[in-house]
Chains A and B, each alone.
Chain A
Amino acid sequence: KNQVEQSPQSLIILEGKNCTLQCNYTVSPFSNLRWYKQDTGRGPVSLTIMTFSENTKSNGRYTATLDADTKQSSLHITASQLSDSASYICVVSARHNAGNMLTFGGGTRLMVKP
């Protein structure tokens, strides 16, 4: 069964600090992995996509990594800002005949405090 596990479930950090969110998956056959950011009361928005051949990708202060061998991804946030407070959802796509099938992680709720 395809599964995506995220840790921690929630995290509180001080403004300006760095943090790393983890995503472990058992999805096969793997197609790609996306990190979404969901602000409170809003819909999720894609931050970055990782394909099988990519190890690291940055989007501003966000850096995602992928280890396809261990089936792990991380999202590192540098110099956190209050606006980074949100839920971060890892979504892994599996290739199927009918198209890609998405498996969602439960999310990590991040709170950045001043």
Chain B
Amino acid sequence: DAGVIQSPRHEVTEMGQEVTLRCKPISGHNSLFWYRQTMMRGLELLIYFNNNVPIDDSGMPEDRFSAKMPNASFSTLKIQPSEPRDSAVYFCASKASGFANTGELFFGEGSRLTVL
């Protein structure tokens, strides 16, 4: 299995531009998570989905952030408009459900976002 796949790995953009981060979870995993990591705050949960349905989006900073999961194999995190304080590494993670669920999160390699 290729693991969780994220794109792009690096994104540099200017303030005010729209940013879209993409994630393909591990096949068969029913839960998908978006995290943001900074030196100051560590890993913060933004939103998570179960069976493509958003369950908890209380970590989404503000209306500029939105996430979708149109099907079991794809999710996006969009920031519009972007601001310099959004600069961080964004991780997508997936987890199995049911009897296969050991609670382990499988992380992608992250998308490093820099907003100038």
Contacts and interface: CB of A to CB of B under 8 A. Distances in A.
Interface of A: 31-32, 34, 41-46, 49, 89, 91, 93, 98-100, 102, 104-107
Nearest to A43: B107
28 contacts: A31-B103, A32-B103, A34-B103, A41-B109, A41-B110, A42-B109, A42-B110, A43-B4, A43-B91, A43-B93, A43-B108, A43-B109, A43-B110, A44-B105, A45-B107, A46-B105, A49-B103, A49-B104, A89-B43, A91-B105, A93-B103, A98-B55, A98-B56, A100-B103, A102-B105, A104-B42, A105-B42, A107-B42
Contacts of A89: 42-43
B104 A104 contact: no
Nearest to A103: B45
A59 B4 CA distance: 23
